[in-house]
Structure 1
């Protein structure tokens, strides 16, 4: 297949590009920077310089592809609603391009979402691929509709494409990257001199390795049933207190429980995410695609996560 990947030089996107190339596919990768273009060349992909705001470019490039994998997102959380509108416009452009290419469900569109958008706020609830977006949550209300924009392209009148949604867990981890919520915990620990958790810390986050996620994107593009939703987590839920403890030990820092104003001051914008529960099953995904995660667990990956956080902190201190 000729595969068009947005966000091709990102933390997960780089792994996705490598996965498709290793399976013998041709990859066109979108990059907004010259350094990204050079990175894609080095990987063996065909670089395309541009941004996801350029919907005409997205549509015309998708029209030359057999599959489009959408990973890019504008990570400006001060303009989150606008970023989500950009996301929906990009998905629409990619879908339209694939429809123009013809072939119906022989063309694949796979877009990225998150398991956090399904969180109910009730501790211990196990979510699965059929769990709905919680539109009472402002963040889910803004980002969640992107899933339906994608899934609508599975309808015959909209092109009948082989479309699917991959929901990444809040901790998508691996070397040389932020690693989602775990990376934020490590960054804050380095900045504040202590590794903390909120309250009893017994809330859980689902987790998965980015290389396992990359395989899932490929399998979805190759053989998903149109209209599917998949979960990219290998672990249903890792106790946040255990994660904060592992990070603190790796950094040689004290480990503390914080609540109320102390937690708000310590975590800032990350105070609420630090306290939420996201326990998620991926069994439907594994059964449907034969996807079997094989990489290290989150706690096993803590040394690599901390090493990256320290590297970033040292680079910032040197400026």
Structure 2
């Protein structure tokens, strides 16, 4: 028997897989192709070729497992229906076993806030409004040790959402307020005043494993490392790495929507700060990865 993991070749899932295997755990990874199966098999996991829409396969793999960690998502308009069906299948496979099921949510559902916690009321942007009902089903399931992990902005190894800052358009300064006329600056997402609550992908992987092992049934944890820089600070770090001497310029909301699409843009304009203390207290989680500011300035996103 082993842990059944979805999304094992994605950004977060591959980190979880790596950490589980480093701990000597047995993992069965759901992958979508023979090529990806070869990748996870080469790492030491058992691969099952299939799709997160294959509910009979999901139910059977859940039943045969020691528990399930679910991090896969299509990330589009099909996400709600697919996640709902997946939860139904996994809970059916685990029903009455008291085995762990760790489900992935996201901190965006909480909306704006300067001190967000697991008890904060939900006020989601449109892109994540579908999550709430499914998450309540997960947390209310009986006979299964369910946990909800709500990651912040995940970063590390030059991947993920921070690339929307690194790859932002450059604009020419036309006044002396931010630099000499004719100098280039990095265009911010929005005004830059909003905070992003962040977590290094390796720290997040450790949280999933701790939740799988230790969390009580029906528990929720913010997956945030406690560092919530402003987008302006992040932009300045990326601008420095790009040789622009930290110069940045704000965008309007409409400019952000035009560049990134309105649903995604609305989420990145949220102003969120969170400490993530509950996971430290309850599970002994100790996030210690490099900060996103350092990663942008001189780390995996620089150069």
Aligned to 1:90: 86
Aligned equivalents of 1:275, 1:20: Cα separation in 2: 34
Match of 2:274 among 271, 280, 284: 280
Aligned to 1:68: 68
Matched, 1:143 2:145: no
TM-score normalized by the length of structure 1:
0.83
Aligned to 1:117: 109
Consecutive unaligned residues in structure 1, runs of 5 or more: 311-319
The change in CA–CA distance for 1:260 and 1:70 in structure 2 (over 3 A counts) is closer
> Displacement, 1:149?
2.1
Q: How does 1:94-105 map to 2 (within 5 A)?
A: 94-99=90-95, 102-104=96-98
Q: Is the 8 A contact 1:4 1:62 kept in 2?
A: yes
Aligned to 1:163: 146
Q: Is the 8 A contact 1:173 1:305 kept in 2?
A: no
Aligned equivalents of 1:165, 1:195: Cα separation in 2: 36
Aligned to 1:215: 206
The change in CA–CA distance for 1:46 and 1:281 in structure 2 (over 3 A counts) is same
TM-score normalized by the length of structure 2:
0.87
Aligned equivalents of 1:71, 1:261: Cα separation in 2: 31
Q: Is the 8 A contact 1:188 1:267 kept in 2?
A: no
Q: Is the 8 A contact 1:206 1:237 kept in 2?
A: yes
The change in CA–CA distance for 1:57 and 1:264 in structure 2 (over 3 A counts) is closer
The change in CA–CA distance for 1:278 and 1:58 in structure 2 (over 3 A counts) is same
Provide, for residues 234-292 of structure 1, a one-character-per-residue CA deviation record: whole Å limited to 9, x for no partner: 12411110001111121224521222554444554454334221112311111010111
The change in CA–CA distance for 1:258 and 1:61 in structure 2 (over 3 A counts) is same
Aligned to 1:258: 251
Aligned to 2:49: 49
Aligned equivalents of 1:162, 1:264: Cα separation in 2: 40
Matched, 1:10 2:10: yes
SS at match of 2:287: coil
The change in CA–CA distance for 1:5 and 1:262 in structure 2 (over 3 A counts) is closer
Divergent runs of 4+, >6 A: 190-193
Aligned equivalents of 2:145, 2:171: Cα separation in 1: 45
Aligned equivalents of 1:262, 1:218: Cα separation in 2: 39
> Displacement, 1:306?
2.6
Aligned residue pairs total 288
SS at match of 2:147: strand
Aligned equivalents of 1:187, 1:30: Cα separation in 2: 31
> Displacement, 1:18?
1.4
Aligned to 2:228: 237
The change in CA–CA distance for 1:44 and 1:200 in structure 2 (over 3 A counts) is same
> Displacement, 1:165?
0.4
Match of 1:174 among 127, 144, 156: 156
The change in CA–CA distance for 1:246 and 1:56 in structure 2 (over 3 A counts) is same
Aligned to 2:119: 130
SS at match of 1:131: coil
